[in-house]
Amino acid sequence: MNNQTKTVAFHTLGCKLNFSETSTIARNLKDNGYQKVEFTDSANVYVINTCSVTANADKECRTIVKNAMKANPEGFVVVVGCYAQLKPQEIAEMEGVDLVLGAAEKFNIAEYLDDINKKEETIVHSCEIEEADFYVGSYSIGDRTRAFLKVQDGCDYKCTYCTIPLARGISRSDTVENVIKNANEIAQKGIKEIVLTGVNIGDYGKGEFGNKKHEHTFLELVQELDQVEAIERIRISSIEPNLLKNETIDFVSKSNRFVPHFHIPLQSGSDEILKKMKRRYLSNLYLDRVTKIREVMPNACIGVDVIVGFPGETEELFMETYNFLNELPISYLHVFTYSERDNTEAIEFEGVVDQGERKRRNKMLRILSEKKRQAFYQSQLNSTQKVLWEHDNKEGKMFGFTENYVKVQTDFNTELVNETQIVDLIRINHNGIVEVKIHELELAK
């Protein structure tokens, strides 16, 4: 590579894990002499990190490639990520794409950029997914307040609707030592909150040293991270209910740094549908997890993933999910509409749900989510909480989150950015955000 500085721009689709991996790829290219610019700028190289979970991955990818070509018709376009692993040839046929890298190749991107002249034909480097059995640690700094720290990748589960094992390979983990090193690096950048991410983080420890044994458990990782003094807060992003053990819940309730916020995928409240999905629990176990959290952390925030419109989900079975969620003491929902995926079992299932019906069910659950969030926020009013303020200034207001994930606002003040402050939660405003009374501008230590 010559000495002249080359520029690179990034666009990331999908989950927090993708954002953490884009950041790692960006650091790798910086070490190889690239300067990062905005995606709307005229860059030498455009890297698009794709997702396979959204139904219109193909359409999204095409749009972003077009945007890159608008910014610089001579720009070298690289597509990586889950969609690139699953359907490299589909991407290769898109006009403007020069290079497609699969799951194993994306972290060595610099090696593929010797020649960044536009190509007549797209070059594809995509391993068989069985070869994606090594672990690359990564973290992203999404803003100046929090960082996403990847601790695990891949999944050994065989849920009938999911392509993630095909896109990311087997379950494997970072070493505890490397996770702690990354956490300390994040802390040195002045960041106060870490969000732990992975594809199946409760499976942490498997494949830590290249074999399938668990050298460490998720609980042991949590205990080690709790010792990283320079970090104020750690959140567990999303953890399977069958892998969230009582010991972990108990530890979080007494820990120094882990906050009372859990995001636990449910996917369906109907046992019949859970079995069809090949989930590894039934609704009773889920209820046990939520009950246990509420027992030891009455003010915890509990988020839920749920899928509507799965094949065979009759109105009656959907209402089982609705009623189960309605009665559960949870705080909010992430609602997904089932969409057919090639190479999954569910695509062959009978009882396909009409698209209009899928939309209706999605809307019903989103309305329920708003009610749940409102009730949770209401239950927290008149309490005293620690808030970590973020850097955005929106029409003179700034926002932050309490430890238990209540979104709050106050008048913008540069001195408060990335600071933790003790506040009283006063009222919910018309935007559904909580207004606070600050404790004499005193910062929480």
Burial level of 417, CB count in 10 A (0-12/13-18/19+)?
A: middle
Instruction: Please report the DSSP string for 15-34 in residue order.
Output: -HHHHHHHHHHHHHHHHTTE
Half-sphere exposure of 246 (CA within 13 A, CB side): 6
Task: Give the pLDDT score at 68.
Answer: 95
Task: Give the pLDDT score at 212.
Answer: 63
Among residues of the chain, what percentage have pLDDT more than 90? 67
Task: Give the pLDDT score at 54.
Answer: 60
| Other CB atoms within 10 Å distance of the CB of residue 2 | 6
Task: Give the pLDDT score at 165.
Answer: 83
Q: Which residues of the chain have pLDDT under 50?
A: 1-3
CA distances (Å), origin 17, targets 107, 342, 373, 413: 14, 22, 25, 31
Q: The pTM is what?
A: 0.78
Task: Give the pLDDT score at 280.
Answer: 96
Give the closest residue to 302 by CA, choosing from 286, 283, 278, 284.
Answer: 286
Dist. CA 184–CA 128, nearest whole Å: 34
Core vs surface per residue 310-337: b (16+ CB within 10 A) or e:
bbbbeeebbebbbebbeebebbbbebbb
Among residues of the chain, what percentage have pLDDT more than 70? 92
Task: Give the pLDDT score at 1.
Answer: 40
Domains within the chain, CATH numbers bracketed: 7-131 (3.40.50.12160), 138-379 (3.80.30.20), 381-438 (2.40.50.140)
DSSP 352: P
